[in-house]
Structure 1
Amino acid sequence: MYTLGERIRTLRKQRKLTLEALAGEQLTKGMLSLIENNKANPSMESLSYIAERLGVEAAELMEEVSSGELQEVLEKVEKLYHTEFDNLTDEHDQIIALIEPYADKLNQGYEAGRLLEIYSRTLHAERKDGWQIYSDKAAQIFDQLNLIPRLAAIGMFRAMVKFTEHDYESSLEILLKERKAIEARNVFIDSLTRLDFDYLQAVLHFAVGNPDEAIRVMKRGIEFSKKERVFYRIDHLYRMASFNAMMMGDEESRKYYNRKLELYADLSDDEEPRFFNKFSQVHFLTTYKKAYQEALDYIHDFFNEHQLPSYFSPYVSLEVGKAHYGLGKYDEALKHLEKVKIPDFLNHPFDLSLFYAKDAYAALCHFALGEKKKAIASIEEAVTNITPMPPSPYKDFIMETLESIQTTS
């Protein structure tokens, strides 16, 4: 936090002025040096003179936190906040350290609102108390400024907090309430905000077991994106559509959406949709087509030749384990299944259910090896995890595996 003297010195240097140049005719170089080093307080007349020569208002110099200072902090924070997931180290700690001295003094202006928004999100990510207070304060500032996209982003964040707690009903309720409040203001909602709402709304309807409404909202988002030629979120919508088509056994639609993702990857030069497509194909081969050797060959041909993001590793281990199970290589399957750790960032029931099924595959491997106690322990783990989840092919598979093991034990 800058003192008055430090603020004057910072502005002087930014404007490339010497002490003598800023002092001019009304101040001595020595007096100005004392002021900058907080060893003397300027009179109001001197302060107004200094402010005029620096090209700012005297009130800005006297503010506990100036807008220029906040802008400087915000630039550093934004850079840290947008660090790629795979490259994260201590960025959250740095963000908190930068904003904390200012947090309780941020009351107005975009910079203050944005800093509070990032601060609240970072506190939540680090599981620290008090994030709600700063989130509410940020929302109040953006409300006063009528910044609808930022206000909407905070509303979505509040909904997703409940999502990460696996309280899907509350998450959807909050999202719908926030969207309704914004739409009731009769203001223009930009395309990106609308697509964010559609995407998250579809995600949450799937999460609470409303597939028909989820598909309706999802298709609405895709059509809006195509009509407006706004491709933001389109890859996420296509992924969701592809995954849903796979679970519904609609192979024609799955291939259609996967082709769309390939086109998007070519257009955007983004490899992540292509990685999703490759995983989707492997998952289809192991889970639905039961073509286990083909799946292993596919993995070898693609995944071993490309640098995968670290968060894809659990998916690959899962599919390799399933393929080895299908080929009767139970020890090899267990070796890969034991490597599977559910990523912390996964919270959707379908993603979780996909991974919970690994314990059912492990149970089948143990059972085939004559390890009945381990088989029962594994399938009970899978059942405990899957029970609160909405209906899905993965839930059906786990419950069928339970019945099979119980019947043959």
Structure 2
Amino acid sequence: MYTLGERIRTLRKQQKLTLEALAGDHLTKGMLSLIENNKANPSMESLSYIAERLGVEVSELLEEVNIHELRKLLMEVEKLYHTDFDDLTDENVQIIALIEPFADKLNQGYEAGRLLEIYSQALHTEKKEGWQNSSDKAAEIFHQLNLIPRLAAIGMFRAMVKFTEYDYESSLEILLKERKAIEARNVFIDSLTRLDFDYLEAVLHFAVGNPDEAIRVMNKGIEFSRKKRVFYRIDHLYRMASFNAMMTGDEESRIYYNRKLELYAEFSDDEDPRFFNRFSNVHYLTTYKKSYQEALDSIQKFRDEKKQFPSHFSPYISLEIGKAKFGLEKYAEAIVHLKKVKIPDFLHHPFDLSLFYAKDAYIALCHLALGEKTKAFIAIEEAVTAITPMPASPYKDFIMDTLKLIQTTS
């Protein structure tokens, strides 16, 4: 945070003025130097003179945090905030350190609101207190400015806080409440905000076990995207549609949406949808088609092409390798692979979690095949404990069926 003297010196240097040039015939060079080093306070007359020669208002010099400083700070913070996922290190810690000295002074304007919004998210991610107050303050600023996209973003973040705590019912309740409030006060909602709401609402309906409503909202978002020719979120909606088709056994729809993802990847020059399709195909081969060698061959072919899955896909692929080894009756190898799989911290949706919880059921089956019944019971009990709170899915059915199988062979 700049002091008055530092602000004068910064503006002077930005305008490439010497002390003598700024002092003119009203101040001495020595007095101006004392002012810039906060060793003397200028009179109101001198301050008006300095402001006039710098081409700014006196109020700008007196502001504890002026707009130029905030814009510079926001640019630095936004750069940290938008760091690619695979490159993240301690960006949130840096964001907190940058904004914290200004936090109490951020009261109005877009820059203040956006800084508080990012600050609240960084505080929450680092499990620090005070994020709610910063979020509320940001929301109030955006409310005054009638910035609907930013208000919506804050509402969605509040919903996702509950989502990360696995409180899916509360998360959906908050999201629907925030969406209703925004739609009630605004006839027009921009397309990107509308698609964000549709996507997250569908995700949360799936999470609480309302598949019919989830599919309705998901299809509504896809149709809106097509009609408006706005492709934001469309790859996420296609992924959700593809995965749902896989779980429900709708092979035609699965192939259709995977093809759409390939077209989107080509259109957008974004490789991530292609990586999803690769994983999706491998998962389909191990879980639904039971073509285990084909799954391993598919992974190897990808590697032979000298390509590597992004780090956020790696746990998924490791899981599928373990499942394929199990299917090929290489039980000891499968156990080694499956025990190395760690559930990523960024996963919170029950379908993703259930998919990973199933690894313990595969471990149990491996132990059972090796005649290690005690270890099989320990592994399946872990899977059952984890899966019990989750909504119905093929993965939950698989775990419970595995439990019954192990119980009947004891």
Shift of 1:187: 4.0
Query: d(CA) in 2 for partners of 1:372 and 1:65?
Result: 67
Query: d(CA) in 2 for partners of 1:145 and 1:186?
Result: 13
**Which residue in the other structure is 2:405 paired with?**
404
Shift of 1:205: 0.3
2:194 paired with 1:194: yes
Q: TM-score of the superposition, structure 1-length normalised?
A: 0.99
Query: d(CA) in 2 for partners of 1:184 and 1:47?
Result: 48
**Which residue in the other structure is 1:241 paired with?**
241
Unaligned runs of 5+ in 1: none
2:395 paired with 1:378: no
State how 1:63-78 maps to structure 2 within 5 Å. Answer: 63-78=63-78
**Which residue in the other structure is 2:55 paired with?**
55
Query: d(CA) in 1 for partners of 2:116 and 2:203?
Result: 27
Number of residue pairs matched by the alignment: 409
Query: d(CA) in 2 for partners of 1:76 and 1:334?
Result: 46
* Structure 1 residue runs of 4 or more that deviate by more than 4 Å after TM superposition: none
2:17 paired with 1:17: yes
**Which residue in the other structure is 1:183 paired with?**
183
Tell me the alpha carbon deviations over residues 36-90 of structure 1, each in whole angstroms, 9 at most, x when there is no partner. 1111111111111211222221111111111111111111111111111111122
User: Counterpart amino acid of 2:207?
Assistant: A
- Asked if 1 retains the 8 angstrom alpha-carbon contact of 2:161 and 2:171, the reply is yes
Tell me the alpha carbon deviations over residues 192-228 of structure 1, each in whole angstroms, 9 at most, x when there is no partner. 1110000000000000001011001101111111111
Query: d(CA) in 2 for partners of 1:196 and 1:360?
Result: 35
User: Counterpart amino acid of 2:15?
Assistant: R
2:275 paired with 1:275: yes
- Asked if 1 retains the 8 angstrom alpha-carbon contact of 2:19 and 2:33, the reply is yes
**How large is the RMSD of aligned CA atoms in angstroms?**
0.9
**Which residue in the other structure is 1:217 paired with?**
217
**Which residue in the other structure is 2:82 paired with?**
82
Query: d(CA) in 1 for partners of 2:37 and 2:399?
Result: 70
Query: d(CA) in 1 for partners of 2:55 and 2:211?
Result: 59
Query: d(CA) in 1 for partners of 2:190 and 2:154?
Result: 15
Shift of 1:303: 4.0
Which segment is superposed worse, 41-50 or 250-259? 41-50
Which segment is superposed worse, 30-39 or 289-298? 30-39
**Which residue in the other structure is 1:232 paired with?**
232
**Which residue in the other structure is 1:314 paired with?**
315
**Which residue in the other structure is 1:339 paired with?**
340
Shift of 1:311: 1.5
- Asked if 1 retains the 8 angstrom alpha-carbon contact of 2:302 and 2:308, the reply is no
Query: d(CA) in 2 for partners of 1:187 and 1:68?
Result: 34
**Which residue in the other structure is 1:36 paired with?**
36
2:106 paired with 1:106: yes
Q: TM-score of the superposition, structure 2-length normalised?
A: 0.98
**Which residue in the other structure is 1:348 paired with?**
349
User: Counterpart amino acid of 2:400?
Assistant: M
Query: d(CA) in 1 for partners of 2:144 and 2:337?
Result: 54
Shift of 1:186: 2.3
User: Counterpart amino acid of 2:338?
Assistant: L
Shift of 1:296: 0.7
**Which residue in the other structure is 2:365 paired with?**
364
**Which residue in the other structure is 2:328 paired with?**
327
Tell me the alpha carbon deviations over residues 272-320 of structure 1, each in whole angstroms, 9 at most, x when there is no partner. 1000000000000000000011111011101453122112111111000
Shift of 1:18: 1.8
User: Counterpart amino acid of 1:159?
Assistant: A
Query: d(CA) in 1 for partners of 2:266 and 2:26?
Result: 64
Identity of aligned residues (%): 82
**Which residue in the other structure is 2:392 paired with?**
391
User: Counterpart amino acid of 1:352?
Assistant: L
Which segment is superposed worse, 255-264 or 16-25? 16-25
User: Counterpart amino acid of 1:283?
Assistant: H
User: Counterpart amino acid of 1:110?
Assistant: Y
User: Counterpart amino acid of 1:330?
Assistant: Y
User: Counterpart amino acid of 2:157?
Assistant: F
Query: d(CA) in 2 for partners of 1:201 and 1:190?
Result: 17
User: Counterpart amino acid of 1:237?
Assistant: L
**Which residue in the other structure is 1:153 paired with?**
153
Query: d(CA) in 1 for partners of 2:357 and 2:185?
Result: 43
Helix, strand or coil at the partner of 1:240: helix
Query: d(CA) in 2 for partners of 1:20 and 1:54?
Result: 13
User: Counterpart amino acid of 1:407?
Assistant: T
Unaligned runs of 5+ in 2: none
